[in-house]
Amino acid sequence: MNLFLYILSGFAGLIVLLLTIAAFAKKNYSVTSEITIQMPSQVVFNYLKLLKNQDNFSKWALMDPNMTKEYRGIDGTVGFISAWESKDKNVGKGEQEIRKIKEGEQIDFEIRFIKPFAGIAQAYLSTDSLSDQVTLVKWGFTSKMAYPMNLMLLVMKMEKMIENDLQTGLQNLKKLLEK
């Protein structure tokens, strides 16, 4: 019986320690990835402004070709929503909404994850003309994890995973637009 109490006390102590660490661990994370594309800035921006086009280059959109998609509103305008649902737990269910457009420069999105975990992220795609035929594209993503789930940020390397996914999407975009 004493052994059981020691094990139970040790387990409770571990839980308290983890919850204490989570209370002080970071909750927010932000990632930006970029690439240059050999196309005029306005051509690239006009392609990126259409949220449906992410289906052609985003790693996340390409993970499950059988996912269900739903679109609401007029693509390329503030308020347009692209929703998805997948049986693949790595894709889950959620929606993305165009929140702001700075014509020729940046599109801001809000991504609302529903399954497997609820959450909200802010994202953007921006274009910057480096010359008549070269455009710098940046893809940014910012979110936070609620307490105590933020403990996962300490072990999952979330920022690196997202950065790799964004970079894959940008490389897909480059191949698509430069062909």
Provide the pLDDT for residue 130. 96
Statement: residue 147 has pLDDT above 80: no
The pLDDT score that the predictor gives to residue 4 is: 77
Whole domain around residue 122: which residue ranges?
Answer: 25-178
Q: Could you read off the pLDDT of 118-141 as tens digits, one per residue?
A: 889 999 999 999 999 999 999 999
| CATH code for the domain in which residue 53 is found | 3.30.530.20
For 39, 44, 56, the CA distances from 53, given in Å and listed in that order, are: 16, 11, 5
In a domain, residue 3? The reply is: no
What one-letter code names the amino acid at 74? I
Asked whether the predicted pLDDT for residue 36 surpasses 80, the reply is: yes
Kindly list the distances between the CA atom of residue 32 and the CA atoms of 45, 81, 121, 145, in Å, as whole numbers in the listed order. Answer: 17, 23, 13, 18
Whether 73 is in a domain gets the answer: yes
* Residue 1: inside a domain: no
Residue 117 located in a structural domain: yes
The three-state secondary structure class of 152 is helix
Q: Please report whether residue 11 resides in a domain.
A: no
* Number of Cβ within a 10 Å radius of residue 74: 10
The pLDDT of residue 132 is 95
